[in-house]
Structure formats: structure tokens, C-alpha cells
Amino acid sequence: MKMISTLRIDHLPRVLGFVETDDLIQIREGWIAVMLGKREGNISDIVTRYQCLAEQVVDGYKEHEARRKAQVGLLVQMALARRDGGRLGHFLDDLKDAQIDAQGKGFVDVAVCIRDTIRKFEVKGKG
């Protein structure tokens, strides 16, 4: 039986419990601006800053299952930032990593949502 997800990729980080702080939002917006060439900056440094701060947020969750879900949400959020910054190849690579992580953790509905998004973007790239 083919599974189809009703989840939307843009909502997935929040659904999974990954909620950006104001600082993370500001860093992500700057990261996107650099990727789009609207601002100067070192993408690698920005990504490292974002990821370190985001992992602190995720690690702050007391419940193990909440942390596991938020970890997948973080991977998806980072992928979405790359999509918004015009880095579709990196977006798809990040989503594939998130799909593997979600599947491995038993979050089948999440893995299906990610899979469907990957397929949609891969078809767009061929069209």
C-alpha cells in the first residue's frame, strides 16, 4: 500500500517540536541572505553558528522522544533554509538525510512527507 502524507514540509519542523528562537530566526535569515548574494558573509561560519545554537535548543528538551523528533525537525529546518537560499541540490541532500533519520527513528509519516517532497523537487528539476 502506497503511503501519502498529509503533512506539509514547511510545517514539519514545528510539528516535530523544533521551534526556532529569535536568535535562530535572525541567523537563518542572514544565512539565506548570504546564499542569495544579498549580504556578505561566510556561509560555513553561519551554518556552524546556527547548528550549534539549534542543537543547544534541542538538547534542552527533557523528554527523550521530544528530543528525537526535534532533531529531525532541525534537519528539515536547515534543508528549508537551503531551499530558500536557492541551494536546491543541498536542500535535497539535507532532506534525504532527514528522511533516513526519520525512518530510522520510526517516524514513518514524517519520512513519507519528506520522501514526497524529494520526489516533487526531483521531478521539477527534470522538467
Q: Is residue 6 part of a domain?
A: no
Whether residue 39 lies inside any domain: the answer is yes
> Is residue 121 predicted with pLDDT exceeding 70?
yes
Mean pLDDT (the chain, rounded): 93
Percentage of the chain surpassing pLDDT 90?
88
Please report whether residue 4 resides in a domain: no
For 83-95, write each residue's pLDDT tens digit: 999 999 999 999 9
Per-residue pLDDT band at 1 (split at 50, 70, 90): very low
Residue 101 inside a domain? The answer is: yes
- Does residue 25 belong to any structural domain of this protein? yes
Number of domains within the chain = 1
User: Is there a domain that residue 3 lies in?
Assistant: no
Given a cut of 90, whether residue 124 has pLDDT beyond it is: no
Sign of CA dihedral 23, 28, 31, 32: negative
Whether residue 1 is contained in a domain is answered as no
- Tell me the residue range of the domain where 55 lies: 11-126
Evaluate whether residue 26 is within a structural domain. Answer: yes
Is the pLDDT reported for residue 6 higher than 90? no
